[in-house]
A = this chain, B = another copy of it.
Amino acid sequence: MTIKEIAQLAGVSRMTVSNVINKKYSKVSKTTIEKVNAIIKENNYIPNLSARNLSAQSSKIIAIIVPLVYGNDSLFSDPYTAQIVGILENNLRNKGYFAMIRSVKALSDTVTFLNSWNIDGAIFIFPKPEINVNQLLKQVSTEIVFIDSYQEVENSLSINIDDYKGTYLATKYLIEKGHTKIGFAAPKRSNNLMELRYRGYEDALKQSKINFDSSFFFDSDISLLSGIKIGEKIAKQKKLTAVITTADVVAIGIIDGARSEKCRIPDDLSVIGFDNLTIANYCYPKLTTVNQDINKKAELAISLLFDRIEKKNELPNKIKLDVSLIERESVKPLN
């Protein structure tokens, strides 16, 4: 069923039908509107968006680009990403847009994808260092909002959190509770994210004149498995009384790994997470963690994207969200 057929049934031109569909009522008489609408309904006519988009040079599609976790089949190994994507879809749908999700490996993949469809905008979650944001923006005309990008690119749109503050708060909190042997589990690959979180940790130590020992550092992926290995190692070494992480999933992994080596949590080892995922409140012990407002992050990404798509330009290029420490049960005071 096409506009043409509807037009024939209604005995009007295609344009009249088109105007009815697009509610350009000033251009059509009431009688015609009603007649056409009746026929549209009767025939269950639904506009062909491929055609509309070709004509309009705009697709009403927003791309959601997510990192492809190497060695993993699923994009959503991390519930953090899943939660964001869910909120994005919800907001986009309510705005009359469509959400196309795509995982990408390389810059060229990304460019091809974004230029293939007349994509109206994109939200890119955690662009890995392999994908150079600067290059990407040069090769693509789509508006892109980056969530958790730690490539500092002027003029790029991004939503981040105060990473420095997050680890700073966590470390400070442990120190207040009497801990001095505080491990730090984070991905090693140097990027700004890690730089910031590392500095937060380091500065808090320094302020209390605690020496950083390189054996305090544990290279981790953002995965349970990675956490488990670190937990086992920490339990065997018996050198630390506490450890902070850069993701709740890692923290939960550490707890599990340490426990398997007879290390009690938090009695023998205090653990602090990062993200405040839903599960952080239901694992055992309930996880003391750095809270970030994931929902707000996703919603702001949408706001910023549409601020630019609609050329309002009211919001700043870079938005940084605050974090806070949530006290639960995975930290034991030593004093």
Contact = CB atoms under 8 A, between A and B. Distances in A.
A93 B98 contact: no
**Majority SS of interface residues in chain A?**
helix
Given A73-B295, A295-B73, A93 B102 contact: yes
Contact of A75 (B46, B47, B75, B86): B86
Interface in A87-129: 87, 89-90, 93, 98-103, 111-112, 115-118
Contacts of A93: 102-103
Interface stretch (A211-219, A279-287, A317-325): A279-287
A89 B116 contact: no
A74 interface: yes
B102 A101 contact: no
Interface in A1-54: 44, 46-51, 53-54
Given A75-B90, A86-B75, A116 B282 contact: no
Interface stretch (A180-188, A251-259, A307-315): A251-259
Contacts of A79: 76, 79, 82
A142 interface: no
A85 to B, nearest CB: 7
Nearest to A99: B101
A46 B75 CA distance: 26
A271 interface: no
A224 interface: yes
27 contacts: A44-B139, A46-B116, A47-B116, A50-B53, A50-B54, A50-B117, A50-B118, A54-B54, A61-B100, A74-B82, A74-B83, A74-B87, A76-B76, A76-B85, A79-B79, A82-B82, A82-B85, A82-B86, A90-B103, A93-B102, A99-B100, A99-B101, A100-B101, A224-B278, A224-B282, A252-B279, A279-B279
Given A48-B116, A82-B85, A82-B86, 10 more contacts: A46-B111, A50-B53, A50-B118, A61-B100, A74-B87, A76-B83, A77-B278, A89-B101, A100-B100, A283-B283
